[in-house]
A = this chain, B = another copy of it.
Amino acid sequence: MTKIKVSIVGASGYTGGELLRLLLFHPNVEINQVTSESYTGKFVYKVHPNLRKATQLKFSSASELQQCDVLFLCLPHNSSQNKIDFYKSIAPKIIDLSADFRLKNQDEYEKWYGHKHVRPELLKEFVYGIPELHREEMKNANYISSAGCNATASILGLYPLFKNDLVFEDRTVIEVKAGSSEGGNKVNEGSHHPERSGVVRSYMPTKHRHTAEILQELSFGKNIQVHFSATAIDIVRGLLATCHVFLKKDLEEKDIWKIYRDAYGNEPFIRIVKENDGIYRYPEPKLLSGTNYCDIGFKKDENSNRLVVISAIDNLMKGAAGQALQAFNIMFGFDERTGLEFTGLHPI
Protein backbone atom coordinates (compact mmCIF):
# COMPACT_ATOMS: atom_id res chain seq x y z
CA MET A 1 0.00 0.00 0.00
CA THR A 2 1.83 3.14 -1.18
CA LYS A 3 2.37 5.70 1.54
CA ILE A 4 1.69 9.42 1.24
CA LYS A 5 4.93 11.42 1.32
CA VAL A 6 4.57 14.38 3.67
CA SER A 7 6.84 17.14 4.92
CA ILE A 8 6.36 19.71 7.68
CA VAL A 9 7.66 23.25 7.33
CA GLY A 10 8.36 24.82 10.73
CA ALA A 11 8.40 21.61 12.77
CA SER A 12 10.24 22.86 15.88
CA GLY A 13 7.23 24.62 17.39
CA TYR A 14 4.56 23.03 19.62
CA THR A 15 2.07 22.64 16.73
CA GLY A 16 4.68 21.21 14.36
CA GLY A 17 5.90 18.85 17.07
CA GLU A 18 2.39 17.61 17.83
CA LEU A 19 1.75 17.05 14.11
CA LEU A 20 5.07 15.16 13.81
CA ARG A 21 4.09 12.94 16.76
CA LEU A 22 0.80 12.03 15.01
CA LEU A 23 2.35 11.52 11.56
CA LEU A 24 5.09 9.25 12.95
CA PHE A 25 2.37 6.77 13.99
CA HIS A 26 0.06 7.17 10.97
CA PRO A 27 0.02 3.89 8.97
CA ASN A 28 -0.40 5.58 5.54
CA VAL A 29 2.25 8.27 5.95
CA GLU A 30 5.94 8.42 5.12
CA ILE A 31 7.63 11.50 6.56
CA ASN A 32 10.00 13.02 4.03
CA GLN A 33 11.40 16.12 5.72
CA VAL A 34 10.68 18.29 8.73
CA THR A 35 12.22 21.75 8.58
CA SER A 36 13.48 24.19 11.18
CA GLU A 37 15.94 26.95 10.37
CA SER A 38 17.18 27.28 13.97
CA TYR A 39 17.58 23.51 14.55
CA THR A 40 18.76 22.30 11.12
CA GLY A 41 20.83 19.10 11.47
CA LYS A 42 19.67 18.40 15.00
CA PHE A 43 17.65 15.37 16.12
CA VAL A 44 13.93 16.27 16.36
CA TYR A 45 13.77 14.89 19.92
CA LYS A 46 16.08 17.73 20.97
CA VAL A 47 13.05 20.04 20.94
CA HIS A 48 10.39 17.32 21.17
CA PRO A 49 11.65 15.14 24.06
CA ASN A 50 8.52 12.96 23.95
CA LEU A 51 9.86 11.65 20.62
CA ARG A 52 13.00 10.19 22.22
CA LYS A 53 13.41 6.59 21.01
CA ALA A 54 10.45 7.12 18.63
CA THR A 55 12.55 8.50 15.77
CA GLN A 56 16.11 9.35 14.66
CA LEU A 57 14.77 12.02 12.27
CA LYS A 58 16.72 15.28 12.03
CA PHE A 59 15.54 18.76 11.07
CA SER A 60 16.31 19.95 7.53
CA SER A 61 16.37 23.53 6.28
CA ALA A 62 13.44 24.75 4.17
CA SER A 63 16.00 25.42 1.43
CA GLU A 64 16.53 21.65 1.12
CA LEU A 65 12.82 20.88 0.60
CA GLN A 66 12.21 18.11 -1.95
CA GLN A 67 9.02 17.39 -3.88
CA CYS A 68 6.40 15.53 -1.81
CA ASP A 69 2.70 14.75 -1.84
CA VAL A 70 1.55 17.04 1.01
CA LEU A 71 3.16 19.99 2.75
CA PHE A 72 2.04 21.00 6.24
CA LEU A 73 2.90 24.63 7.04
CA CYS A 74 3.40 25.30 10.78
CA LEU A 75 4.90 28.75 10.48
CA PRO A 76 4.33 31.92 12.48
CA HIS A 77 1.55 34.11 11.01
CA ASN A 78 2.43 36.16 7.93
CA SER A 79 5.03 33.62 6.65
CA SER A 80 2.96 31.24 4.52
CA GLN A 81 1.38 34.00 2.43
CA ASN A 82 4.79 35.50 1.63
CA LYS A 83 6.30 32.25 0.24
CA ILE A 84 3.19 30.46 -0.97
CA ASP A 85 4.45 30.07 -4.54
CA PHE A 86 7.59 28.30 -3.33
CA TYR A 87 5.52 25.95 -1.16
CA LYS A 88 3.10 25.32 -4.03
CA SER A 89 6.08 24.24 -6.14
CA ILE A 90 7.02 21.64 -3.52
CA ALA A 91 3.70 19.81 -3.18
CA PRO A 92 0.33 19.66 -4.99
CA LYS A 93 -1.52 19.71 -1.65
CA ILE A 94 -0.95 22.10 1.25
CA ILE A 95 -2.44 22.22 4.75
CA ASP A 96 -1.58 25.53 6.39
CA LEU A 97 -1.91 25.71 10.18
CA SER A 98 -1.32 29.47 10.38
CA ALA A 99 -3.99 32.20 10.16
CA ASP A 100 -2.81 33.43 6.78
CA PHE A 101 -5.53 31.82 4.61
CA ARG A 102 -8.39 31.33 7.09
CA LEU A 103 -10.45 34.40 6.21
CA LYS A 104 -12.20 34.49 2.82
CA ASN A 105 -12.59 38.29 2.88
CA GLN A 106 -9.38 40.34 2.48
CA ASP A 107 -10.92 43.41 4.09
CA GLU A 108 -11.81 41.37 7.17
CA TYR A 109 -8.22 40.09 7.18
CA GLU A 110 -6.82 43.61 7.08
CA LYS A 111 -9.27 44.74 9.81
CA TRP A 112 -8.33 41.94 12.25
CA TYR A 113 -4.64 41.46 11.40
CA GLY A 114 -3.70 45.13 10.87
CA HIS A 115 -2.01 44.76 7.47
CA LYS A 116 -2.99 44.00 3.88
CA HIS A 117 -3.01 40.36 2.80
CA VAL A 118 -0.10 39.74 0.37
CA ARG A 119 -1.98 37.24 -1.87
CA PRO A 120 -5.71 37.97 -1.48
CA GLU A 121 -6.54 36.26 -4.77
CA LEU A 122 -5.57 32.92 -3.20
CA LEU A 123 -7.91 33.17 -0.22
CA LYS A 124 -10.75 31.44 -2.08
CA GLU A 125 -8.49 28.45 -2.96
CA PHE A 126 -8.19 27.40 0.70
CA VAL A 127 -10.98 25.43 2.38
CA TYR A 128 -11.58 26.52 5.98
CA GLY A 129 -10.23 23.66 8.15
CA ILE A 130 -13.19 22.48 10.31
CA PRO A 131 -14.14 19.05 8.86
CA GLU A 132 -17.52 18.98 10.64
CA LEU A 133 -18.51 22.07 8.61
CA HIS A 134 -16.58 21.61 5.33
CA ARG A 135 -16.09 17.86 4.87
CA GLU A 136 -17.41 17.70 1.30
CA GLU A 137 -15.23 20.59 0.09
CA MET A 138 -12.19 18.98 1.72
CA LYS A 139 -12.64 15.73 -0.16
CA ASN A 140 -11.28 17.26 -3.35
CA ALA A 141 -9.44 20.26 -1.98
CA ASN A 142 -5.79 20.94 -2.76
CA TYR A 143 -5.39 23.65 -0.13
CA ILE A 144 -6.81 23.66 3.39
CA SER A 145 -6.38 26.34 6.03
CA SER A 146 -6.61 24.85 9.53
CA ALA A 147 -8.83 26.81 11.93
CA GLY A 148 -7.75 28.69 15.04
CA CYS A 149 -8.12 26.89 18.39
CA ASN A 150 -10.47 29.38 20.09
CA ALA A 151 -12.47 29.64 16.88
CA THR A 152 -12.78 25.86 16.56
CA ALA A 153 -14.22 25.42 20.04
CA SER A 154 -16.59 28.38 19.73
CA ILE A 155 -17.78 27.57 16.22
CA LEU A 156 -18.42 23.87 16.91
CA GLY A 157 -20.26 24.79 20.09
CA LEU A 158 -22.64 27.25 18.42
CA TYR A 159 -22.91 26.04 14.82
CA PRO A 160 -26.19 24.05 15.19
CA LEU A 161 -27.92 27.03 16.85
CA PHE A 162 -26.89 29.61 14.25
CA LYS A 163 -27.51 27.24 11.38
CA ASN A 164 -31.11 26.77 12.57
CA ASP A 165 -31.54 30.49 13.25
CA LEU A 166 -32.41 29.86 16.91
CA VAL A 167 -30.48 32.69 18.59
CA PHE A 168 -30.37 36.48 18.40
CA GLU A 169 -27.64 37.53 16.02
CA ASP A 170 -25.99 40.25 18.10
CA ARG A 171 -26.10 39.07 21.72
CA THR A 172 -23.60 36.19 21.81
CA VAL A 173 -20.91 36.44 24.51
CA ILE A 174 -18.04 33.93 24.43
CA GLU A 175 -15.55 33.55 27.24
CA VAL A 176 -12.56 31.29 26.56
CA LYS A 177 -10.32 29.99 29.32
CA ALA A 178 -6.99 28.99 27.71
CA GLY A 179 -3.66 27.37 28.55
CA SER A 180 -0.07 28.52 28.17
CA SER A 181 0.75 26.27 25.19
CA GLU A 182 -1.45 28.54 23.06
CA GLY A 183 1.36 31.07 23.15
CA GLY A 184 3.82 28.71 21.52
CA ASN A 185 7.35 27.90 22.70
CA LYS A 186 8.78 31.45 22.49
CA VAL A 187 9.74 32.69 25.94
CA ASN A 188 8.42 36.13 27.05
CA GLU A 189 8.16 38.19 30.22
CA GLY A 190 4.68 36.91 30.97
CA SER A 191 5.57 33.23 30.45
CA HIS A 192 8.21 33.28 33.22
CA HIS A 193 7.00 30.60 35.69
CA PRO A 194 6.87 32.77 38.83
CA GLU A 195 4.77 35.28 36.83
CA ARG A 196 2.63 32.78 34.86
CA SER A 197 1.93 30.13 37.49
CA GLY A 198 -1.48 30.35 39.16
CA VAL A 199 -2.66 33.38 37.13
CA VAL A 200 -6.18 34.14 35.96
CA ARG A 201 -4.94 36.61 33.35
CA SER A 202 -7.30 38.65 31.19
CA TYR A 203 -5.01 38.74 28.20
CA MET A 204 -7.54 39.50 25.41
CA PRO A 205 -10.70 41.06 26.83
CA THR A 206 -11.63 42.36 23.36
CA LYS A 207 -10.57 42.21 19.69
CA HIS A 208 -9.25 38.62 19.73
CA ARG A 209 -8.36 37.77 16.14
CA HIS A 210 -10.16 34.45 16.18
CA THR A 211 -13.43 36.40 16.37
CA ALA A 212 -13.15 36.99 12.62
CA GLU A 213 -13.30 33.23 11.91
CA ILE A 214 -16.31 32.82 14.23
CA LEU A 215 -18.17 35.59 12.41
CA GLN A 216 -17.26 34.07 9.04
CA GLU A 217 -18.51 30.58 9.89
CA LEU A 218 -21.64 31.40 11.92
CA SER A 219 -23.14 34.33 9.96
CA PHE A 220 -24.97 32.29 7.29
CA GLY A 221 -25.24 35.47 5.21
CA LYS A 222 -26.54 37.57 8.11
CA ASN A 223 -24.83 40.39 9.93
CA ILE A 224 -23.92 38.88 13.34
CA GLN A 225 -21.93 40.05 16.34
CA VAL A 226 -19.84 37.97 18.74
CA HIS A 227 -18.52 39.43 22.00
CA PHE A 228 -15.36 37.40 22.70
CA SER A 229 -12.93 37.49 25.61
CA ALA A 230 -10.06 35.21 26.57
CA THR A 231 -8.56 34.55 29.98
CA ALA A 232 -5.29 32.62 30.48
CA ILE A 233 -5.37 30.16 33.41
CA ASP A 234 -2.89 27.78 35.01
CA ILE A 235 -3.01 24.91 32.52
CA VAL A 236 -0.63 24.05 29.67
CA ARG A 237 -2.94 22.28 27.22
CA GLY A 238 -6.67 22.72 27.04
CA LEU A 239 -9.31 25.27 26.18
CA LEU A 240 -12.83 25.79 27.47
CA ALA A 241 -15.26 28.12 25.71
CA THR A 242 -18.33 29.16 27.70
CA CYS A 243 -20.79 30.67 25.25
CA HIS A 244 -23.84 32.70 26.28
CA VAL A 245 -26.53 32.85 23.58
CA PHE A 246 -30.09 34.11 23.76
CA LEU A 247 -32.87 32.01 22.26
CA LYS A 248 -35.43 33.55 19.91
CA LYS A 249 -38.10 31.12 21.09
CA ASP A 250 -38.49 29.18 24.30
CA LEU A 251 -36.89 25.73 23.98
CA GLU A 252 -36.73 22.81 26.39
CA GLU A 253 -33.42 21.04 27.04
CA LYS A 254 -34.90 18.07 25.20
CA ASP A 255 -35.20 20.21 22.07
CA ILE A 256 -31.59 21.34 22.46
CA TRP A 257 -30.43 17.70 22.78
CA LYS A 258 -32.20 16.94 19.52
CA ILE A 259 -30.63 19.88 17.71
CA TYR A 260 -27.10 18.80 18.74
CA ARG A 261 -27.80 15.11 18.10
CA ASP A 262 -29.08 15.91 14.59
CA ALA A 263 -26.02 18.04 13.88
CA TYR A 264 -23.29 15.88 15.44
CA GLY A 265 -24.75 12.40 16.11
CA ASN A 266 -22.52 10.71 13.54
CA GLU A 267 -19.38 12.78 14.07
CA PRO A 268 -16.41 10.65 15.22
CA PHE A 269 -14.79 13.48 17.20
CA ILE A 270 -17.72 15.29 18.81
CA ARG A 271 -19.17 14.08 22.12
CA ILE A 272 -22.19 15.66 23.76
CA VAL A 273 -21.24 15.80 27.46
CA LYS A 274 -24.11 16.71 29.76
CA GLU A 275 -24.65 14.36 32.69
CA ASN A 276 -26.39 14.81 36.03
CA ASP A 277 -24.00 12.67 38.09
CA GLY A 278 -20.31 11.84 38.28
CA ILE A 279 -17.35 14.21 38.62
CA TYR A 280 -17.18 15.38 34.98
CA ARG A 281 -20.74 16.43 34.11
CA TYR A 282 -19.79 19.07 31.56
CA PRO A 283 -16.88 19.15 29.09
CA GLU A 284 -13.47 19.06 30.83
CA PRO A 285 -10.44 20.09 28.72
CA LYS A 286 -7.79 18.24 30.76
CA LEU A 287 -9.45 14.92 29.85
CA LEU A 288 -8.97 15.76 26.17
CA SER A 289 -5.17 16.23 26.26
CA GLY A 290 -3.74 14.44 23.24
CA THR A 291 -7.14 13.56 21.78
CA ASN A 292 -8.95 15.05 18.76
CA TYR A 293 -12.27 15.32 20.61
CA CYS A 294 -14.43 18.41 20.93
CA ASP A 295 -16.76 17.88 23.88
CA ILE A 296 -19.93 20.03 23.93
CA GLY A 297 -22.43 20.51 26.77
CA PHE A 298 -25.19 23.04 27.52
CA LYS A 299 -27.57 24.30 30.19
CA LYS A 300 -30.80 26.26 29.64
CA ASP A 301 -31.25 29.08 32.10
CA GLU A 302 -34.66 28.57 33.76
CA ASN A 303 -35.04 32.28 34.49
CA SER A 304 -34.30 33.73 31.07
CA ASN A 305 -33.91 32.91 27.36
CA ARG A 306 -30.18 32.39 27.89
CA LEU A 307 -28.61 29.10 26.80
CA VAL A 308 -25.09 28.42 28.09
CA VAL A 309 -23.08 26.24 25.68
CA ILE A 310 -19.80 24.77 26.97
CA SER A 311 -17.21 23.52 24.50
CA ALA A 312 -13.79 21.96 25.30
CA ILE A 313 -10.82 20.90 23.15
CA ASP A 314 -7.06 20.35 23.34
CA ASN A 315 -5.82 23.52 21.62
CA LEU A 316 -2.83 21.61 20.15
CA MET A 317 -4.99 18.75 18.87
CA LYS A 318 -8.55 19.58 17.70
CA GLY A 319 -7.38 23.19 17.84
CA ALA A 320 -4.35 22.57 15.56
CA ALA A 321 -2.45 19.40 14.67
CA GLY A 322 -5.22 16.85 15.27
CA GLN A 323 -7.71 18.76 13.14
CA ALA A 324 -5.07 19.20 10.41
CA LEU A 325 -4.54 15.43 10.36
CA GLN A 326 -8.32 14.87 10.30
CA ALA A 327 -8.44 17.10 7.21
CA PHE A 328 -5.51 15.15 5.70
CA ASN A 329 -7.42 11.88 6.22
CA ILE A 330 -10.45 13.35 4.42
CA MET A 331 -8.28 14.73 1.62
CA PHE A 332 -6.93 11.22 0.87
CA GLY A 333 -10.06 9.23 1.65
CA PHE A 334 -8.67 7.50 4.73
CA ASP A 335 -10.90 6.70 7.71
CA GLU A 336 -11.03 10.04 9.50
CA ARG A 337 -9.96 8.48 12.81
CA THR A 338 -6.70 7.05 11.40
CA GLY A 339 -3.86 8.12 13.66
CA LEU A 340 -6.33 9.92 15.93
CA GLU A 341 -7.55 6.98 18.03
CA PHE A 342 -5.99 8.10 21.34
CA THR A 343 -8.86 8.42 23.82
CA GLY A 344 -7.15 10.49 26.52
CA LEU A 345 -5.94 9.86 30.08
CA HIS A 346 -7.80 9.76 33.36
CA PRO A 347 -6.89 10.70 35.95
CA ILE A 348 -4.55 13.39 34.60
| Docked complex: A307-348 residues within 8 A CB-CB of B | 316, 341-348
Q: Which residues of B contact A24 (CB under 8 A)?
A: 343
Which among A14, A236, A271, A346 has the highest number of chain B CB atoms within 10 Å?
A346
A51-59, A143-151, A211-219, A239-247: which lies at the interface? A51-59
Q: Are B348 and A287 in contact (CB under 8 A)?
A: no
Chain copies in complex? 2
How distant is A340 from chain B, measured CB to nearest CB, in Å?
12
| A290 contacts the other chain (CB 8 A) | yes
State the main secondary structure of chain A at its contact with B: loop
| A17 contacts the other chain (CB 8 A) | yes
Q: Are B237 and A50 in contact (CB under 8 A)?
A: no
| In the A-B complex, the 8 residue pairs with the closest CB atoms | A50-B344, A50-B346, A54-B343, A49-B280, A290-B345, A181-B347, A53-B271, A236-B347
11 pairs, A vs B, C-beta closer than 8 Å: A21-B343, A24-B343, A49-B279, A50-B287, A50-B343, A180-B347, A236-B347, A237-B347, A289-B348, A290-B290, A316-B347
Chain A residues at the B interface, C-beta cutoff of 8 Å: 14, 17-18, 21, 24-25, 46-54, 180-181, 185, 236-237, 271, 273, 277-280, 284, 287, 289-291, 293, 295, 316, 341-348
